[in-house]
Amino acid sequence: MEVHHSLGTTTDWVVMVIYFIAIMIFGSYFSKYNRTTTDFFFGGRRFAWWLIAMSILATGVSSHSFIKYSAKGFEAGFSSTMTYMNDWFFVPFFIFGWLPIIVYTKIRSIPEYFERRFSALTRFLATLLLLFYMIGYVGIGFLTMGKAILPLLPPELTLLGVHFNVTLMGLIFVIGLIVGIYITYGGQTAVIFTDLVQGFMLLFAGLLIFVLGLDYLGGFKVFWNLLPTEWKLPLAHFNDPPGFNFVGIFWQDTVAGSVGFLFMNMGLVMRFMACKSVDEGRKAAIFNILFLVPLSAIVVGNAGWIGKAISSVNPSVITPNTNPDEIFVVVSNIISHPGVFGFIMASLAAALMSTVSTLLNATAAVYINDIHRPVKKWLTKKAQSWKEANEQELLSARIATVVLTFLSVLSVIPFSQFPTIYEAHGYFHSTLTPPLVTAIFLGVFWKRYTNAAVIGTLVGGVALMVLGMYYPRPLIQIFDHGTAFDPVHPYTYIGALYNLFVCSLFAVLATLTTKLQIQIVGKIEKQENHRLIMSTFIAASFLIFTLIVFDLASLPVLFILTFVMVALVVLAANYYIEYNHEKKIDGLTVWSINKAKEYFKGSKINDREGEKVKVNWKLKDGADDTVHFAKNDMKRMSAEVGDLVYICDVRRYFGGLKSVHSIYGEPHDEDSAVYISKEHLAQGQFGKGKMLTAEKEM
Amino acid sequence: MPSFFNTWLPFIYLYGVGGIFFVCGLVIVKKSGAYNPSNKRHRYWWKITIFGFFYFMMMHALLILAALYL
């Protein structure tokens, strides 16, 4: 396979460095909006849909990356767009179910949802799996960045008299350092605003490559006629080859990937938490999936299509055996002029940085919420003021970001063993997402799903997934839809179907046998030695899990033992964990969203439709979290004392940056005036003499 | 000419199996009350959701036809 080095000119490097410095300065400007950890992680729940849509685009596009889709575009044609056009099937679940739940329950992380819906133990298991998932996801981002930048560098460098061999891992360490600095001082608001710039830049850069590429080839008609028919099809061959086929990618990406991305990608979930309201979140999601994502499919894959067309008309310019992961860089270099190539590469690197920084920020949020706070609560009895605690958490969040960056860099090592980033990402998705995806999905949409069942799902699902890795034949083979067996990377994509099936199987079995479990536990509790029995169950479960993880028995024995282990674990969960099912599903499933809305507000919902009003702000003396409007303005907004209100600078281009949420206090008689506290002013950063719009939330 | 495995089978599988997930989503959110037909905004998002399914289906069908016959 042909490997490239030293692509680009000095002008390109100058453009790249200037671009990066500008982005870092721009991002650091927004650090003043990080007054609390809520601002640092969630941007203060204030932004408009268009800002969030662009931010999701920058995060989503780069996470699926120019590199890997151009690689697949070069190998397989227009079917590289497949994974960008298959997200719609879970939209009803998301916009009517999960989105209102994450906003109204005010959860700060996915594991926190697990604790509130199930138990502390479930939260712990979810935290472990989620951290693995997110660190791995960031690792893939770093690998992509490394592979993108490596062809630009010479094979060796001498800096200040010290000689370096330029290696992929060395480069990734340097990239990790830069990203760590950027995210540590910016926070979520910085990420959202730099995403806005980067989102436009990468759309422009991707389309620029397409236009320049078509120009290079002699126009669209020449390009179209150069490609064979199979290449123009939007969906890949049903089950061939093993490295890129439709049915495997359907289960790995359309099902596991889409649910994983929408339901458990903390980076995305935090974007929606930063939206000013549920409706604004819906607008952002729909606009993104309907329009921005199909456009992105062209933006990220076209370098591969152009590369294929050039290689078929002139194989000496691009050889057919070019490393697919380098095709994006190679094509960009061939079709563009010095400086333009630098701009394209800077956009790519910045977009990747956006994804990686978003995920690092999200991973730090999981650390603070699900490890730092519970451990601190457990270890210290000392009472801290809100300000002290917040300052300490902000510092811990920054330190956590640095540590997580380092762990993510290390996680690149196993992923770099796959032939392309696409396959590494596919395998990663099909193995790490199914247990959590099944648990979250059923937790939200199936009200009968219990705490013992979710523990059974996670433990049993992981055990049978491990067996699937050891014995892809016959376990995964049953689900292969005719996909050929590749002994080096067996069932990279279709493995997701097997993994989803085994997790769902334990979920259903454990839920449907709930009454039986309670009866058995009741009988055990009547025994004198009930504690010993339960301790034996736990010890036996650990033993069986060890046998499975180290493959210490034959497949039939391990397979049967998995079911025995799940039965023991489920009984132990019922025995040890106090779980009130009715209380745990209240406001936390799709079946009780109205309750969640009431809990969010703290009182009865006021759904009467009102108008938006324009007001001048004035400072009040008190520091309580209420704002005071005129009686006439309250009437126009159909608002009552105690309702929730959103106040925002009238200038729409701020996208909600200067805004605040509050509660209606007692009204006054001064029309078009709102009295706010100093804290509201500090949060909203309202300009002196600038008008505000106010609208009732609920 | 590419085979059925390369053209319409992936399309049928995508919108057949994917369609089952999609319809299940609509049924669950309706039965659970998460979609409230008396709310004007909900009715709007409901229509957009159904439109989106056919929008992507049409787009894929047109792209397959273009690949085969243009």
Q: How many residues does chain B have?
A: 70
- pLDDT of A187 > 70? The answer is no
Q: What percentage of chain A has pLDDT greater than the value 70?
A: 92
Task: Return d(Cα A389, Cα A394) in angstroms, integer.
Answer: 9
Centre a 10 Å sphere on the Cβ of residue A180 and count the other Cβ atoms it contains: 22
Instruction: Tell me the two tokens of residue A173.
Output: 């360490």
pLDDT (0 to 100) of residue A387? 67
Task: Return d(Cα A206, Cα A470) in angstroms, integer.
Answer: 41
pLDDT (0 to 100) of residue A153? 79
A260 part of a folded domain = yes
Nearest to B10 among A88, A236, A591 (CB): A236
Question: Chain A residues with CB inside 8 Å of B21's CB?
Answer: 89-90, 255
Please answer yes or no on whether B55 and A286 come within 8 Å at the CB atom. no
In this structure, the strands spanning A673-676 and A613-619 are parallel
Please answer yes or no on whether A246 and B29 come within 8 Å at the CB atom. no
Same domain, A42 and A186: yes
Nearest to A254 among B18, B41, B52 (CB): B18
Range of the structural domain that residue A490 is part of = 446-585
Write the single-letter amino acid at A190: A
Task: Return d(Cα A39, Cα A17) in angstroms, integer.
Answer: 29
Same domain, A28 and A131: yes
Q: Is A92 in CB contact (< 8 Å) with chain B?
A: yes
Q: Is A590 in CB contact (< 8 Å) with chain B?
A: yes
At A78-103, the pLDDT tens digits run 999 998 899 899 999 999 999 999 88
Chain B, nearest residue to A289 by Cα: B52
Please say which residue of A585, A620, A641 terminates a domain. Answer: A585
Please answer yes or no on whether A594 and B33 come within 8 Å at the CB atom. yes
- pLDDT of A418 > 90? The answer is no
Q: What is the pTM of this model?
A: 0.86
Question: Chain B residues with CB inside 8 Å of A237's CB?
Answer: 5-6, 10
Same domain, A222 and A365: yes
List the one residue out of A25, A26, A265, A236 whose CA is nearest residue A137: A265
Nearest to A96 among B19, B35, B56 (CB): B35
Chain A, nearest residue to B6 by Cα: A237
Q: How many CB pairs under 8 A join A and B?
A: 122
pLDDT (0 to 100) of residue A377? 74
pLDDT (0 to 100) of residue A604? 81
User: In this structure, are residues A499 and A428 in contact, taking their beta carbons and an 8 Å threshold?
Assistant: no
Same domain, A347 and A221: yes
pLDDT (0 to 100) of residue A185? 58
Question: Chain A residues with CB inside 8 Å of B25's CB?
Answer: 89-93, 97
Q: Is A197 in CB contact (< 8 Å) with chain B?
A: no
DSSP string, A510-544: HHHTHHHHHHHHHHHHHSTTHHHHHHHHHHHHHHH
Task: Return d(Cα A614, Cα A46) in angstroms, integer.
Answer: 18
Same domain, A542 and A641: no
pLDDT, mean of residues A129-139: 84
Question: Chain A residues with CB inside 8 Å of B63's CB?
Answer: 78, 232-234
In chain B, what are the domain boundaries?
Answer: 8-69
DSSP string, A326-394: GHHHHHHHHHS-TTHHHHHHHHHHHHHHHHHHHHHHHHHHHHIIIIIHHHHHHH------HHHHHHHHH
- In angstroms, the first-to-last Cα distance of chain B is 13
| Greatest Cα pair distance in chain A | 86
At A599-658, the pLDDT tens digits run 888 778 887 888 889 998 888 887 777 889 999 999 999 888 888 888 888 888 777 778
Here the ipTM equals 0.97
Determine which of B24, B39, B45 to mutate to test the interface with A (most A C-beta atoms within 10 Å): B45
State the average pLDDT for chain B: 94
In degrees rounded to 5, what are phi and psi of residue A491? 45, 55
A432 part of a folded domain = no
Same domain, A575 and A612: no
- pLDDT of A594 > 90? The answer is no
Question: Chain A residues with CB inside 8 Å of B62's CB?
Answer: none
A423 part of a folded domain = no
Is residue A644 within a helix (H) or strand (E), and if so which, with residue range? strand A644-649
Shortest alpha-carbon distance between residue A247 and chain B (Å): 7
Q: Is A98 in CB contact (< 8 Å) with chain B?
A: no
Same domain, A338 and A486: no
pLDDT (0 to 100) of residue A320? 86
Same domain, A572 and A617: no
CA torsion B18-B23-B28-B34 (nearest 10°) is 100
Return the higher-pLDDT residue of A621 and A77. A77
A592 part of a folded domain = no
Q: Is A487 in CB contact (< 8 Å) with chain B?
A: no
Looking up residue A177, the CATH number of its domain turns out to be 1.20.1730.10
Same domain, A153 and A223: yes
Return the higher-pLDDT residue of A367 and A564. A564
pLDDT (0 to 100) of residue A660? 83
pLDDT (0 to 100) of residue A569? 96
Highest mean predicted confidence (pLDDT) among A80-94, A272-286, A355-369, A558-572? A558-572
pLDDT (0 to 100) of residue A168? 81
Same domain, A648 and A526: no
- pLDDT of B50 > 80? The answer is yes
At A486-534, the pLDDT tens digits run 888 888 899 999 999 999 999 999 999 999 999 999 999 999 999 999 9
Determine which of A86, A95, A280 to mutate to test the interface with B (most B C-beta atoms within 10 Å): A95
Question: Chain A residues with CB inside 8 Å of B39's CB?
Answer: 607
At A225-266, the pLDDT tens digits run 988 899 999 999 999 898 889 999 999 989 998 888 888 877
Same domain, A508 and A362: no
Shortest alpha-carbon distance between residue B60 and chain A (Å): 7
- pLDDT of A43 > 70? The answer is no
Return the higher-pLDDT residue of B40 and A516. A516
Please say which residue of A555, A585, A615 terminates a domain. Answer: A585
In degrees rounded to 5, what are phi and psi of residue A227? -90, 135
pLDDT (0 to 100) of residue A575? 95
Please say which residue of A412, A431, A463 terminates a domain. Answer: A412
List the one residue out of A348, A320, A312, A321 whose CA is nearest residue A333: A348
Question: Chain A residues with CB inside 8 Å of B1's CB?
Answer: 229
pLDDT band at residue A141, thresholds of 50, 70 and 90? Answer: confident
Burial classification of residue A72, based on how many CB atoms lie within 10 Å of its CB (0-12 exposed, 13-18 middle, 19 or more buried)? buried
Shortest alpha-carbon distance between residue B12 and chain A (Å): 11
Burial classification of residue A432, based on how many CB atoms lie within 10 Å of its CB (0-12 exposed, 13-18 middle, 19 or more buried)? buried
Task: Return d(Cα A537, Cα A541) in angstroms, integer.
Answer: 6
Instruction: Please enumerate residues of B whose Cβ is less than 8 A from a Cβ of A.
Output: 1-2, 5-7, 9-11, 13-14, 17-19, 21-22, 25-26, 28-29, 32-35, 39-42, 45, 48-49, 52-53, 55-56, 59-60, 63-64, 66-68, 70
User: In this structure, are residues B60 and B14 in contact, taking their beta carbons and an 8 Å threshold?
Assistant: yes
Determine which of A102, A227, A238, A593 to mutate to test the interface with B (most B C-beta atoms within 10 Å): A238
State the average pLDDT for chain A: 85
| Greatest Cα pair distance in chain B | 51
Count of domains observed in chain A: 3
Same domain, A19 and A142: yes
